[in-house]
Chain A
Amino acid sequence: MTKIITAEVPLVGLSLGTASIKITTNGFVGEACKDATKQFQDALGVVLDDQETQEMYETEEGVERLREGG
């Protein structure tokens, strides 16, 4: 599966801190998405919010089921 990291970089408000950059991951299994975004976070600055979505856990369970079945 192709791994994709997407950064949404706004224009208006970026210098005043009223807008911020959002990074999302796709195609990573479980905690791997956190490792993948860490270097990008460090390159930019301060993390304001970090959300683990429901899909992150669903993917992990999916892998576990495959392992049990295989």
Chain B
Amino acid sequence: MSHIVTIKTELKDHDLLKEAVNALNDKAKAANTPQLEILPASKHHLFSGDQVGLGIRLPGWNYPVVIDEQGVVKYDNYGGSWGKQIELDRLVQEYSLEALEREARTQGYFTDRVETEAGAIKLDMKSVSG
């Protein structure tokens, strides 16, 4: 180990967001649990008003999450009463993993996911050339 970087994810790539939703839905289908729904990139109604961007309806949420072109995420789950925060955590986690795996493929790395404690994922990326 020689270098450690700590990063906060920004949901800027809407195509990647859709891939993350599809990946989560594949898992939901296998587990027979509620799926996410991608809504058109337009105006969406939240409790406090309308927001413009890509809409994603998370399982059990009253209002959609809306992500604009800059990756700003707008939602109203009333501190968890109108939707569990963990559902949005899952979306951000899957987006992060998809982003890392896509970049790893571009750079020629093999990838391997391993689930660790509390739902965290360790992603190993190994160089092909060695």
Q: Which residues of A contact B (CB under 8 A)?
A: 1-17, 20-28, 30, 33-34, 37, 39-41, 43-53, 55-56, 59
Contacts and interface: CB of A to CB of B under 8 A. Distances in A.
Contact of B3 (A14, A16, A39, A51): A51
Interface residues of B, number: 43
15 contacts: A3-B127, A7-B100, A7-B125, A11-B93, A15-B92, A21-B8, A22-B5, A25-B1, A33-B2, A44-B99, A45-B7, A49-B6, A51-B4, A56-B3, A59-B2
Interface of B: 1-10, 12, 71, 73, 85-86, 88-93, 96-97, 99-100, 102-104, 106-107, 109, 116, 118-127, 130
Nearest to A26: B1
Given A12-B89, A13-B89, A14-B92, A20 B118 contact: no
B118 A22 contact: no
A45 B4 contact: no
**Dominant SS among interface residues on chain B:** mixed
Nearest to B90: A11
B15 to A, nearest CB: 13
B122 A39 contact: no
5 shortest interchain CB distances as A-B pairs: A45-B10, A11-B119, A56-B2, A33-B3, A3-B127
